[in-house]
A and B are shown apart, each in its own frame.
Chain A
Amino acid sequence: MDDTASSLACHGLEKYLGEDESRVHVLRGVSLAINPGEVHAVVGPSGCGKSSLLYILGLLDRPDAGTLWIGREEIATLSDDLLSARRNEELGFIFQFHFLLQDFTAIENVVIPMRRLGGSTDGEMRERAAGLLDAVGLSDKADRSSRALSGGEQQRVAIARALANDPAVILADEPTGNLDTANSARVFALLKDLVHRERKALLLVTHNPAIAQACDWIHTMRDGLIVDSAWHG
């Protein structure tokens, strides 16, 4: 990817949710551009549409209006299978609630996106997964069943999993919501360092002012709109 293109950009995104009377205009024209090497925070009150925006940027939902690019590719026309492929290759998604696959161990959870990507041997995949788990401080729990991990540990496995395929864009919905201060700082430092070092792009939703302040950009959302974007870099 050349540096003149944003890693992720959207323009005038709109989204309606619900049917008929309960129909809500959740996003009312959101525009953003995230360049390689930048960490962006989205803050705003509960219900303002932060998660909805992330689902659209994460190609899990389609906007009702507006355009979206990943790198130089406009994604509106992509088929479902191609969207899946982009999610697998380009995006890492960290959910507000840690979602691991129950029947798999920590390391196997990290390997799952790699398997879909293909091209590596089992040994290579496990080695890379072990490195990622080490980076989030879980090297000693790699072979534990995900059922036997605490909430914070599961969250960290989910973060390692989001990085599994070395994505260009990382989208995180309150990634540190379940973590204590020490782990929260550690995970954020890891992500931020990775973004700056490897020129990736990170967009994270957070309620934690300390984390927001440490980002390059802070976007404040209210009622489906970005009302303020401030650079902190």
Chain B
Amino acid sequence: MSPASHIALRFTVSRKRSLALSLVGVIFGVAFFILTQAQTQGFERYFIQTIIGTSGAVIISDRFQSRYTSFSDAGARAAEDVMRSRGQGRRKYYEGITNAAEIMRVARQFSNVSACAPVVQGTVGIRSNFTSEVLSVQGVDLDAQLAATALRSQIIAGRIEDYRASRAGVMLGSLLADKLQVGVGDTVQMTGPDPKPRTFTVTAIFRTGNNIIDERRGYIEQRAAQGLLKKPGLVSVIIVKLRDPDRAPEIAAHFERLFGHRARSWQERERGNLQIFSTLRLSAGITVSLIILLAGFLIFNTLTMAVMEKIREIAILRSMGYRRLDISVIFLGQGILVATIGSVLGAAAGALFTYLVSLIPIKVTGFFYTDRFLVAWSWQHYLTAAAIAFIAVLGASFLPARRAANLAPVATLRGSGQ
């Protein structure tokens, strides 16, 4: 131990009561910071997991064509260039995907792509004995759908195997089933562009937790959907599952260029919601950081008083050959000690709080479904909390330490009666 830190330690011990208060502040600040980050990120991660599990990391949809290719004369080309330079690159869309098998074959060759599922989408009417509703019908290839989404884990009633075995089965969203007052085994009728109603048997009910999906969606066999929607052979979208969903934007951009089809990453699709989560996380972080800042003020106060109280001892230390740097280390050292102990104990308390909170039962639906508090465990939360604690505490210790270091020993010694 350096001679200065030895003295710092002793000074800290002799001021333990006032420093303890700051220490408690740092501990709670760090712990709460970790807790709030764990919670907000826990919910955010689960939300992301839900949307990726339900709609895939990347969705490939309509074909587009640059307007520019549809005109051949130079004038139009120039006009298009002007539009592009304004950032308005306008594209013309053609509904759906006609060469789905080909696109999926190519897409599967990307190492990041783990599964693809073609889906036929459309809106039809659905009727039960009780009432009629609007159904966003999803015509799926069951095995591809199971591979590319989390559908299997979303089933809350009935069995996938029954759906597979039945000739005209439908899997309904839980909220829609509630509205229609139907359960597994009941029949419903669907009416699409083809006015002849078709009968389906409810073989399973799923819950994604996302209300918008759960009150509208139903899955039926692909061919049946194409018939119902009068779109034989058409695929509306391809759901792409990625091994590394964080890279979805790059993959999506690549697919657009490669296939000439619109491809949207989950980050793009859910930008608004994701922004809400990150704003919440930031505001919780700022609020809780204030506790740490408060602890910083306490330290500042304590150390400023300590410097005044030890002014004679500082002069003696200087007369014995302690350098300016040693003197600042003595006071900064007290801050470092508080920040270190505070961060370590705060991190432990934060982990404990996070664990305890994760046990709290709570029912959440709307964005996603959960029956307990969601928390994320991330070392980054701990590192950030410790960094904030060190910045606040060392920042607060710096001024008193510098003041102590710059005290002229002779002024103190002379003022003390000689």
B195 close to A (CB within 8 Å): no
Within 8 Å CB of B409, what residues of A?
60
Q: How many residues of B contact A (CB 8 A)?
A: 29
- From residue A136, how far is it (CB to closest CB) to chain B in Å? 17
A161 to B7, CA, bound (A): 16
Give the A interface residue count (CB, 8 A).
34
- Which has the most chain B C-beta neighbours within 10 Å: A60, A93, A173? A60
Determine how close the nearest CB of chain B comes to the CB of A157; give it in whole angstroms: 12
Tell me which residues from 81 to 119 in chain A have a Cβ below 8 Å from any Cβ of chain B: 81, 84-89, 91, 93, 95-97, 99-104, 112-113, 115-118
B324 within 8 Å of A by Cβ?
yes
Contact A116 B414, CB 8 Å, known A87-B319, A89-B321, A103-B10: no
Q: Quote the shortest CB–CB distance from B158 to chain A (angstroms).
A: 75
Contact partner of B3 (CB less than 8 A), chosen from A58, A103, A116, is A116
Given contacts A80-B324, A84-B321, A113-B321, contact A101 B414 (CB under 8 A): no
Interface string of B1-29 (1 = CB under 8 A from A): 00100110011011000000000000000
Contact A112/B323 with A60-B409, A97-B417, A101-B313 known, Cβ cut-off 8 Å: no
Q: A91 CA to B318 CA in the complex, in Å?
A: 12
Residues in B with CB closer than 8 Å to A55 are 410, 413-414
Contacts of B410 in A (CB 8 A): 55, 60-61
With A61-B410, A116-B320 known to touch, is A99 a contact of B417 (CB < 8 Å)?
Answer: no
Q: How far is the CA of A190 from the CA of B319 in the complex (A)?
A: 22
* Min C-beta distance of B350 to chain A, whole Å: 33
Specify which chain A residues have a CB less than 8 angstroms from the CB of B417 in the assembled complex: 96-97
- CB of B316 within 8 A of CB of A84, answer no
Q: Which of B313, B323, B408 contacts A84 (CB 8 A)?
A: B323
Query: B312 contacts which chain A residues (CB < 8 A)?
Result: 99
Bound-state Cα–Cα, A17 to B410, Å = 12
Q: With A and B bound together, what is the CA distance between A104 and B310 in angstroms?
A: 13
B317 in the interface (beta carbon within 8 A): yes
Chain B residue with minimal CB distance to A113? B320
Which chain A residue lies CB-closest to B4?
A116
Write out the residue numbers on chain A whose beta carbons fall within 8 Å of the beta carbon of B6: 115
Which residues does A use to contact B, with CB under 8 Å?
A: 51-52, 55, 58, 60-61, 80-81, 84-89, 91, 93, 95-97, 99-104, 112-113, 115-118, 161, 165, 173
List 15 A–B pairs whose Cβ atoms lie within 8 Å, in order of A's numbering. A51-B418, A60-B318, A60-B319, A60-B409, A60-B410, A87-B320, A93-B320, A95-B316, A96-B417, A97-B417, A97-B418, A102-B14, A112-B320, A116-B322, A118-B3
Name 15 extra pairs, CB < 8 A, besides A85-B321, A87-B320, A117-B321. Answer: A52-B414, A81-B324, A84-B324, A87-B319, A87-B321, A93-B320, A95-B319, A99-B312, A99-B416, A101-B317, A102-B14, A103-B11, A116-B322, A118-B3, A173-B418
